[in-house]
A and B are shown apart, each in its own frame.
Chain A
Amino acid sequence: MLLELRNVTRRFGALAAVQAVSLDIEAGEFFTLLGPSGCGKTTLLRMIAGFDAPDQGDILLEGANLAGTPPERRPVHTVFQSYALFPHMSVADNVGFPLLMSRRTREEIVPLVREALAKVHLADKAADYPHELSGGQKQRVALARALVNRPRLLLLDEPLGALDAKLREEMRSELIRLQRDVGITFVFVTHAQTEALALSHRIAVMNAGRVEQVDTPERIYEQPVNRFVAEFIGTCNLIDATVAAATAAHLGLDLGTLGEVVAPAAPGIAVGERGTLALRPEQIRLSARGHAERLRNQFEATVRESLYLGDVTHYSVALANGRTLQALAANSGSARAQLFSTGDAVTVAWRHDAGHFLR
């Protein structure tokens, strides 16, 4: 285990910013702390970096307790949201800074800096100053600087937040490649769920100072453990349900006036339990009334609203009991024929193995 957090708690006055968080992060992992603003993810990151100390609990790096170790003596580097490049130093001096601080000689520093800059495709910018660089270039310098003396752990605090959408996508692929190449463990903090899903080996979803779920991106998305995770990651239809039947393969769920639907089985769920059926918009199929394919879960509905987004169209449809569902239809193939407008009568349907029952 590379990094262990044991019951880490940090309070600011009456506010518990981080409450009893325990996490294990393995060497070589791309691990993401994901959550809304104020969930405690940055506080957690700052405690790992050494800028803040837990009130209770321990942070262990390779088994050694970090308490009392100042930031400069931790083999942990941070890529700051604002990049925090030193404005009075050239790109090369910025990247050479951690080497200088560890008292390497000039002869050692020069080739290492050159290599680090080559890795982020900035070999030709060594003599430039930060104010001469674009946002994406600053980002790369910050990465090169934090990686140049091979820390055990790299912390990234919303590093893509300040970039525009197109650059963000580029940097996403770049980060994955870089992490694979250097083999250093990344702990990434973000509030953007798409980033987290795209980049991470594992994600810890945080809310109000607590970790709600730690899992792979697929499981976080497809099998959220509670309503918070389901709603925070992507859009999700949450429908109150009571378990009417439970077999090894399926659950029968009673949706009240709507009737019964079938959902995939989940371990340990008993008949009579009340909970929520979480259904992703893309799992719902819309078809013109009378033209529906035969699916187990099927309801009549009316289109309330449609948002054409290019690749997909987002629909809000109202069921017979007035409940609204969000549905997503891909605009591929004979897309035109599948466009509905407000007021259209449609059939909504989803497969028997779609959705996920939350207690």
Chain B
Amino acid sequence: MKPTRSVGHGQRGKAAGMRSRLSRWLVAAPPSLFLALFFLAPSLIMAGASFRFPGELGGLAPLTASAAHGSDHGLTLEAYAFVFGDWVYLWICLKSFAIAAVTTLACLALAYPLAMLIAASPRKRRDLLVLLVILPFASNFLVRVYAWMIVLGPMDLLYTQTAVLIAMVYVHLPFMILPLYINLEKHDPALLDAAQDLGANAWRRFWHVTFPLSLPGVFAGSALVFIPVLGMFAVPELLGGTRDILIGNLIKEQFLDNRDWPLGAALSLVLTAMVLALAWGTLRLARARTRGLA
């Protein structure tokens, strides 16, 4: 019989109920209103913009002047027709997905042994090792990308797909290490002793105990790497060649260079859909695989 948070208020507690509703409103309203105005509204407007015509001088064409485009309501699927009608766009979307997948796997491969080692270290050394992971992560994103420009320049790797991949992994590696470590650290060492006691060798202990238990950390880290890589434009722009652009570069181009906002908005929506599909898929997978492991 744990003390239950009061769900509703009895009819007799009206005065107290009103007071608590007031304080609830005072606390919740400012952040809610701010984010509704500067996050929710822009997102919805972006969705709307993808169905508009581009303006003469960039931006969006006014809804009233749409007659010029032969449409009586000013809305069109033109931008989507353009995206899905051209193999180049689909190819770049697929490539973005592939780069994100490879980056995630590479991060996982590098992060897992390190996270295991940190989790297995004595407490004091553990904090130091974690700090050493965080420190480079705390330096500016552009500085970290720039560092690879210096390192890869003399190696003739600059402006290649390889350079893009290396920097992607570098920039996102801590996002994989930390959730993995946080998960592995919580494992009860008695489980491994029990497995050993019951006859499992080192490999089987890892495969049947440690790895399945670490799946929530694997999923969390993967999402934290995959999603930002998917939308990245700066790394290909600085380290990649002209053929290494990703969906993020396409979006940036439409908004800042070509000024075809409806197309940029449509591409943003495609990216959003990719992210949502991915998040949904990961969540389902995580639920199915980690039932009871939280």
A residues at B contact (CB < 8 Å):
10, 12-13, 37-39, 41-43, 46, 50-56, 58, 67-70, 157, 191
Contacts and interface: CB of A to CB of B under 8 A. Distances in A.
Given A12-B7, A54-B10, A68 B15 contact: yes
A53 B1 contact: no
Given A51-B6, A70-B19, A39 B12 contact: no
B6 to A, nearest CB: 5
A43 B4 contact: yes
A46 B3 contact: yes
Contacts of B140: none
Nearest to B2: A42
Contact of A55 (B1, B10, B14): B10
A68 B2 CA distance: 24
A43 B10 CA distance: 13
B7 A53 contact: no
A85 to B, nearest CB: 16
A58 B12 contact: yes
A52 B14 CA distance: 11
A53 B4 contact: no
Nearest to B12: A67
Contact of B1 (A39, A52, A69): A39
A357 to B, nearest CB: 32
A69 B19 CA distance: 11
Contacts of A68: 12-16
Contacts of A12: 4, 7
A10, A13, A52 pick with most chain B CB within 10 angstroms: A52
Nearest to A47: B10
Interface string B1-36: 111101101111111110100000000000000000
A10 B15 CA distance: 18
Contacts of B7: 12-13
A50 B1 contact: no
Contacts of B17: 53
Interface in B168-217: none
Interface in B202-250: none
Contacts of B1: 37-39, 41-43, 191
19 contacts: A10-B10, A12-B4, A12-B7, A41-B1, A43-B1, A43-B4, A46-B3, A51-B6, A53-B10, A53-B11, A53-B12, A53-B16, A53-B17, A67-B12, A68-B13, A68-B14, A68-B15, A68-B16, A191-B1
